[in-house]
Each structure stands twice: as C-alpha cells, then as structure tokens.
C-alpha cells in the first residue's frame, strides 16, 4: 500500500508543521509525484528554488537580498506545475502556492486553477 505524503516544495523555508514532507528542488518533487509507492495528498509550492552551483559562483554575494536567484539549469515551481499539467501528475487535492514572488505565484496559480480538477487525480 502506498504511503501518503503532503509535499512542501521550498528551497529555504520549512513547512508549517511536521506533517509535511519537505523537498528542496522541483526535480525531487517531480520524483515524489511519480513514485508508485507514494500518494501525494496535498502540495504547497514555491516558485523560486535557487540556482545551481555554477550559477551561484557567478553571482555577486547575496548580502542583504532576501530572495534567491534562479537559473536556467534548475526547474522553478512554475516549471513543475507546467510538468504536472503536461503529465497529469497531480496531488489528490488542489495544490497551493506559497511563493513570495508575485508574478511566479500568479502564473502558477493560473495554471493550477485552469487545469486541476478533482477528476485530475488518478490513483
């Protein structure tokens, strides 16, 4: 019998409580959504998920910046939602977006609102 998990995708923040399974990269979230031994019952998603090591070395020091950068080598939360739409790989309940990036959050929410239905989840 598959184990049930609540997916929390964020590269820096921790989930609101210990009932969530934390993943720090969209690629790991994608793997969890396709794992035959896992049923993702809920998902809370971030947009900006940091940069790869090569891109991080090329950026100036973070200093006072509060947000992470992104690079073209890693998936963003938006890339994950596009993948979910393309592959029909949804959690059991409608995903939420907790990103502080207003444009990224709006883009992700728009796709989720357009394509997620209760019938979209296939066991």
Task: Give the fold, CATH level 3, of 3-120.
Answer: Rossmann fold (3.40.50)
Q: What is the pLDDT of residues 18-60, one digit of tens each?
A: 999 999 999 999 999 999 999 999 999 999 887 666 766 666 6
- Give me 50's structure tokens: 């940091």
Helix then strand count (H, E) for the chain reads 4, 4
pTM of the model: 0.84
Q: What is the pLDDT of residues 52-61, one digit of tens each?
A: 667 666 666 6
Residue ranges per structural domain of the chain: 3-120
| DSSP for residue 118 | G
Q: In this structure, what is the dihedral angle of CA atoms 22, 113, 121, 78, given to the nearest 10 degrees?
A: -40
For the chain, the average pLDDT equals 87
**For residue 59, is it left (φ>0), alpha (ψ between -120 and 50) or beta?**
beta
């Amino acid at each position: 019998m598959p184990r049930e998990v609540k997916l929390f995708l964020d590269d820096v923040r921790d989930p609101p409580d210990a009932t969530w399974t934390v993943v720090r990269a969209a690629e790991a979230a994608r793997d969890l959504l396709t794992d035959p031994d896992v049923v993702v019952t809920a998902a809370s998603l971030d947009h900006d998920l940091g940069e790869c090591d090569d891109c991080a070395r090329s950026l100036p020091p973070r200093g006072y910046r509060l947000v992470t950068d992104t690079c073209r080598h890693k998936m963003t939360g938006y890339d994950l939602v596009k993948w979910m739409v393309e592959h029909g790989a949804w959690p059991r309940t409608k995903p939420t977006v907790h990103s502080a990036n207003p444009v990224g959050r709006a883009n992700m929410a728009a796709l989720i609102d357009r394509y997620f239905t209760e019938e979209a989840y296939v066991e």
